[in-house]
Structure 1
């Protein structure tokens, strides 16, 4: 069942049963709308180079990397630019099959024919032999709907994959990382010198398709030129500056709210369902996706819990499903005024 089909199914099921626990809301912007900062009203000039340095400072990365920190309009835009460049160099691309269907839409729109690998119930990196072409592997860290950061062993496996050929590189989508600095695994992968990091204000500041940074590896000067030719608008740059300077605490607030919502979800789940969620997902900061090794049909029939099937996120033969903590039932308790 694809995402749009599931949304229609979800509304029908919730309309048919008021007792069904909705653990399948996926729209974080709707759920946390009151937390999104307002855009600026001034018309000041903001320069991309200043934003790149501000972003590097926030995430405790060396400011001398500013020449490799490409300002863009978010991870989708960044990937679109990267994928078109990969098409030009005839690169091979590996995408996670069950994370984000838009990855494949962007790749195919760029003229690529991506291969895939599963991440549920745990990532299984490709084992194909190398060839003469450049090869790029996209990882999400943290990964949804896996709901956790890559483990030390998984980072080691990714580094081992890199070392099999000098033409191999990583693309790291870190949009779900609400912390600062980035996770230790992400920094470890960056230290290989062959990783491209993509980040944006989409999740931490709840402003999708507005501003992001693609941190390139040193040897990708040609790709840098593609970003310099396709930049955010002046309004987007002003908004990004305000988010990074005046609202630097918002990602922490978002993470705190998501942690409270997760606890409210856990309190309402039957013990058999709660214990089926991996502990790493239950304890991952700022997480709102929780894989459970129980089919969605069984969760609804036996436990009264509406979950999303894995197919909502892409192709995977795993029989489990995904719970989320974004529905109104897990939101803040309204304050009663007297």
Structure 2
């Protein structure tokens, strides 16, 4: 079931069965609309180089990297530019199969034919490329998200080690790291460890932390990957978008912490409403990841609805997957209030 199909299905189910616990809302902007900062009333001229340095300072990265910090309109825009560069370089591309269907849409629009690898129930790097070096000198890129959704957690130390080993098998290999779900500063230790290899491109934006999608982002190119720079310089955000980004990074620097705290509170309200069997099936790392609102559970969505009165998101909404489970979210309106933890049919110990 694709995303748009599921949205129609969700509304029909909630209308037909009002007692269902809605753990299937996915729109964080609608859920947290009250936290989104307003744009500046009188935007002035803002320079991309200043924003690049401000972004680097916030995330405790060296300011001398500013020449590699490309200003974009968000992760989608950044990936679109990078994927066209990969196509021109005849590069191979590996994408996570079950994270974000838009990855594949952007890659195919750029003329790429990406391979894939699963992330659920845990990331499994593509077997054809792991055992040894590539058979030719073509560039090879692997895209990952850290933290990953709907896995709902950061990369483990062992997973970072495996990625570094993959890089070391060939000088032509690179990582693309989508860090849009990392609401903290500095970035996660795993992300910083991968950046330290000098073989990773980092993508970030104000989409989740400040709730402003497709507005402003940064693509931090690797030290030996300057080729796409001119394409980014030729396709910048508008002055209004740059002014908004400056306002977010300065006047509203604390918003990501407010978002993280609100999401943590909503997650606790979700957990309080879940049957013990369902709560116990959510991995601990997902339950405890700061700012997470996606919770994988190895129970099919149909079983959750039929046996527990919980409406979940089928894994196919996120992409192709053979994993039998589904995903719970904590974004529905009921978790923004303070409902009784024992109200409704889906209560701990119930079924």
- Normalised TM-score (structure 2): 0.94
Q: May I ask how many residue pairs the two structures share in their alignment?
A: 334
Aligned to 1:118: 118
Aligned mate of 2:139, from 126, 134, 146: 134
Aligned to 1:32: 32
- 2:27, 2:166 → 1: CA distance? 34
CA contact 2:148–2:154 (8 Å) conserved in 1? yes
Aligned to 1:258: 263
Aligned to 1:316: 321
Note the 1:177-192 alignment, pairs <5 A.
177-192=182-197
- 1:85, 1:296 → 2: CA distance? 39
- 2:163, 2:140 → 1: CA distance? 13
Note the 1:216-295 alignment, pairs <5 A.
216-295=221-300
Note the 1:322-333 alignment, pairs <5 A.
322-333=327-338
CA contact 2:278–2:297 (8 Å) conserved in 1? yes
- 1:224, 1:175 → 2: CA distance? 20
Alpha-carbon shift at residue 128 of structure 1 (Å): 1.9
CA contact 2:207–2:215 (8 Å) conserved in 1? yes
Aligned to 1:302: 307
Note the 1:58-73 alignment, pairs <5 A.
58-73=58-73
- 1:241, 1:274 → 2: CA distance? 41
- 1:301, 1:308 → 2: CA distance? 14
SS of structure 1 residue aligned to 2:116: strand
Note the 1:74-223 alignment, pairs <5 A.
74-129=74-129, 130=134, 131-223=136-228
- 1:43, 1:73 → 2: CA distance? 17
- Normalised TM-score (structure 1): 0.98
Q: Give CA-to-partner distance per residue, 1:72-120, whole Å, 9 cap, x none.
A: 0000000000000000000000000000000000000000000000000
Alpha-carbon shift at residue 132 of structure 1 (Å): 2.0
CA contact 2:43–2:244 (8 Å) conserved in 1? no
- 1:236, 1:147 → 2: CA distance? 29
Any gaps of 5 or more consecutive residues in structure 2?
340-351
- 1:219, 1:332 → 2: CA distance? 49
Alpha-carbon shift at residue 43 of structure 1 (Å): 3.0
Aligned to 2:20: 20
Alpha-carbon shift at residue 333 of structure 1 (Å): 4.1
SS of structure 1 residue aligned to 2:40: coil
Aligned to 2:11: 11
Any gaps of 5 or more consecutive residues in structure 1?
none
Alpha-carbon shift at residue 221 of structure 1 (Å): 1.6
Aligned to 1:56: 56
Alpha-carbon shift at residue 332 of structure 1 (Å): 3.1
- 1:148, 1:296 → 2: CA distance? 21
Q: Which has the larger displacement, 186-195 or 219-228?
A: 219-228
